[in-house]
Amino acid sequence: MKILGISAFYHDAAAALTIDGLPVAAVQEERLSRSKNDPAFPLRAIEWCLDQAAVEPEDLDAVIFYERPALKFDRVLTTLLRGFPHSWRIFPKAMKNMVGEKLWVRGIISAQLGIPVKRVHFTDHHLSHAAAAFLTAPTERAAILSADGVGEWATLTVGQARKQTGGSTEISLRREVRFPHSLGLFYSAFTAWLGFQVNEGEYKVMGLAAYGTPRFAGEVRRILQRTPDGAFALDLRYFDYHQAVDAAYSRRFVELFGPPRDRFEPIDLATPLGQHQADVAASAQLVLEEVIVDIAAALQRETGLADLCLGGGVALNGVANARILREAGYERIFVPSAPGDAGCALGAALWADRILFGQPHRDCADHPFWGPAVEPGDLAQLAAEDGLPFERVGDAALIDRMVDAIGHGAIVGWMEGAAEFGPRALGHRSILADPGDAAMRDRINRDIKFRESFRPFAPVVPAEHAATYFELPAGGARLGRFMSGVFPVRPEWRNRLRAVTHVDGTARVQIVEPAMAPRLHALLIAYGRRYGVPVLLNTSFNLAGDPIVTSAAEGYSTFRRAGMDLLVADNLMVRREHIRQDHKLEAVA
């Protein structure tokens, strides 16, 4: 069966295509439209997925949307009614938003693809998350936990699932916490209070938390309370997202934690104000961890299962994930490469195949590389036209030169094969650099990523060496596969890994197995052989505000703009010649 999964209209739209139960293509719309977190109907992504498999829309057996729009409308309307009369300002906006487009998804899909409406199906938002996590994971039985801002009504679900290769699949979500009580929206309120963009800046809160002391944990526990049945409830007097147009938190929240951060002013951790903000971030992070670890542990006791599949935007919180692994009693935790809404496109398609149409389960390839491939020929042409030196080299020579360049302080744009599906660069669209030089971290933050100095960079390490450098609990390697866990760097290596060790001595490490990314693995091994530490700094190949690069032209553009030293697309290497290139640019300006 050919099934197209779609997620759209909230944030980070995406499309994914499965054929006979296996993923063949998946990409976020932003990677093609070049508009960060693009929520629009993902027509470019759909076209690319279909082209990739040489499938026409009429060949599709089904198209499945990742959530139920009418049920979502029910939640929006009910929330507005419950908030009467305080919801009067948000009512026109919410109605125009829902009635203008989001409620007519079936018609939009049918019209855009030219397929009959009866081929368009829907599933639950959290079931899509659950399917994305479980059906791509190499496990036959697992507990399921998905948590995000909100889907239709659910904000967090727990359950369990089983599957057997060639056999049937069952995903059973047992319980849910419903809007407006939401861990995702709780965290987003702190994100907004700290002056970061909601749905984008949550990483920054997690990074900032490491600089703080959770001295406000008591206050945070007052607004995120545990219920007697083991779930949680927010004290809604501290939040405004359910009734205001432009605020996630209320005046009472401000009275409790102080005035929100001025988003135009940088966080200065040397000042009492900056430290206060870090302390609030640390407190929110701690309480989030306490709640989710406790829920995960209760689920483990209830199901007795050794594996946990985690989905939803909250699963991007690597610190919380690592604590679940350490404390909740699971042997392995599986977080897909795209645990957020984009990944629901793939989850919905797999759910439709296995459960809606009852097809036998087939094991999915355990990698994140479902996006468009880079074309080295395009890069060669661009470099030739601009007079930049480039060469095609074999794998061994390429790795040798890369090791040499990185060892001498070069920053490398690394593009290889198909792009990653999900928010993280996992070695196919990465910026790689020396992990041992703190000045390197500052240079990349300042000159290339243009981002806050408190945000850490991630290391990448071969699986067989990971435990040497990082304190991994049992199952840590699996969690590190898609960079989903934050683990301590071993004290004796922190100085050698200064550029990737966060202030609290941890790192969000990617653990590479040769089968998943053989060239990156070979590069790491060669680097280790030459310089003693098989670890590199790995950050996403993009500039601040841009999506991660997809094509060779985008990689080349970013390379030119960011002042990187070397650009690699498969076996093609382009070097930067600073003086000559700058001169050429000035001549035409």
Here the tokens at position 262 are: 């001025």
Q: Which is nearer to another protein, 579 or 589 (CB)?
A: 589
184 is a contact residue toward another protein (CB under 8 A): no
* Residues numbered 315-334 forming contacts with another protein, rule: CB under 8 A: none
Chain centre distance of CA 462: 21
Q: Is 162 helix (H, G, I), strand (E, B) or coil?
A: strand
173 is a contact residue toward another protein (CB under 8 A): yes
Select from 263, 392, 446, 580 the one that contacts another protein (CB under 8 A): 263
171 is a contact residue toward another protein (CB under 8 A): yes
Q: How far is the CB of 510 from another protein (least distance, A)?
A: 27
Four-residue CA torsion sign, 542, 546, 549, 555 = negative
Q: Which is nearer to another protein, 491 or 563 (CB)?
A: 563
Three-state SS for 270-310 is CCHHHHHHHHHHHHHHHHHHHHHHHHHHHHHHHHCCCEEEE
User: What span, in angstroms and rounded, lies between the C-alpha atoms of 106 and 229?
Assistant: 38
The angle formed by the CA atoms of residues 209, 211 and 215, to the nearest 5 degrees, is: 70
Q: Is 269 helix (H, G, I), strand (E, B) or coil?
A: coil
Select from 71, 273, 503, 526 the one that contacts another protein (CB under 8 A): 71
492 is a contact residue toward another protein (CB under 8 A): no
* Per-residue binding letters, 217-256, with another protein (x by CB under 8 A): ----------xxxxxxx-----------------------
Give DSSP secondary structure letters for 168-209. -EEEEEEEEEETT--HHHHHHHHHHHTTPPTTTTHHHHHHHH
Select from 264, 272, 492, 578 the one that contacts another protein (CB under 8 A): 264
Kindly indicate which of the ranges 154-162, 299-307, 479-487, 528-536 contains the residues binding another protein, using the contact rule CB under 8 A: 154-162
The partner residues of 158 in beta bridges, in order of sequence, read 145, 175
Contacts of 572 (CB under 8 A, 6+ apart): 376, 379, 380, 390, 391, 392
DSSP run (H or E) holding 26: strand 22-28
Q: Do residues 461 and 533 make contact, with C-beta atoms less than 8 angstroms apart? A: no
Q: Which is nearer to another protein, 319 or 388 (CB)?
A: 388
27 is a contact residue toward another protein (CB under 8 A): no
Q: How far is the CB of 128 from another protein (least distance, A)?
A: 12
Q: Which is nearer to another protein, 173 or 415 (CB)?
A: 173
Kindly indicate which of the ranges 71-79, 161-169, 329-337, 510-518 contains the residues binding another protein, using the contact rule CB under 8 A: 71-79
Q: How far is the CB of 456 from another protein (least distance, A)?
A: 25
Size of the site for another protein (CB under 8 A): 68
Select from 105, 220, 267, 344 the one that contacts another protein (CB under 8 A): 105
Q: How far is the CB of 191 from another protein (least distance, A)?
A: 16
Encode 516-540: b = buried (16+ Cβ within 10 Å), e = exposed: bbebbbbbbbbbbeebebbbbbbbb
CB atoms within 10 A of CB 284: 30
Q: Do residues 532 and 497 make contact, with C-beta atoms less than 8 angstroms apart? A: no
Select from 20, 56, 82, 167 the one that contacts another protein (CB under 8 A): 82
Q: Which is nearer to another protein, 98 or 523 (CB)?
A: 98
352 is a contact residue toward another protein (CB under 8 A): yes
* Residues numbered 537-576 forming contacts with another protein, rule: CB under 8 A: 545-546, 551, 553-554, 556-557, 560-561
111 is a contact residue toward another protein (CB under 8 A): no
Kindly indicate which of the ranges 18-26, 83-91, 453-461, 470-478 contains the residues binding another protein, using the contact rule CB under 8 A: 83-91
Here the tokens at position 428 are: 């196919």
CB atoms within 10 A of CB 213: 13
Select from 22, 59, 168, 172 the one that contacts another protein (CB under 8 A): 172
DSSP run (H or E) holding 555: helix 552-562
Kindly indicate which of the ranges 16-24, 63-71, 367-375, 566-574 contains the residues binding another protein, using the contact rule CB under 8 A: 63-71
Residue position matching structure tokens 């703080």? 212
Binding site for another protein (CB under 8 A): 34, 64, 68-71, 74, 78, 80-82, 84-85, 88, 91-92, 95-96, 105-106, 118, 121-124, 127, 154, 157, 159, 171-178, 181, 227-233, 262-265, 352, 356, 382, 385-386, 545-546, 551, 553-554, 556-557, 560-561, 584-586, 588-589
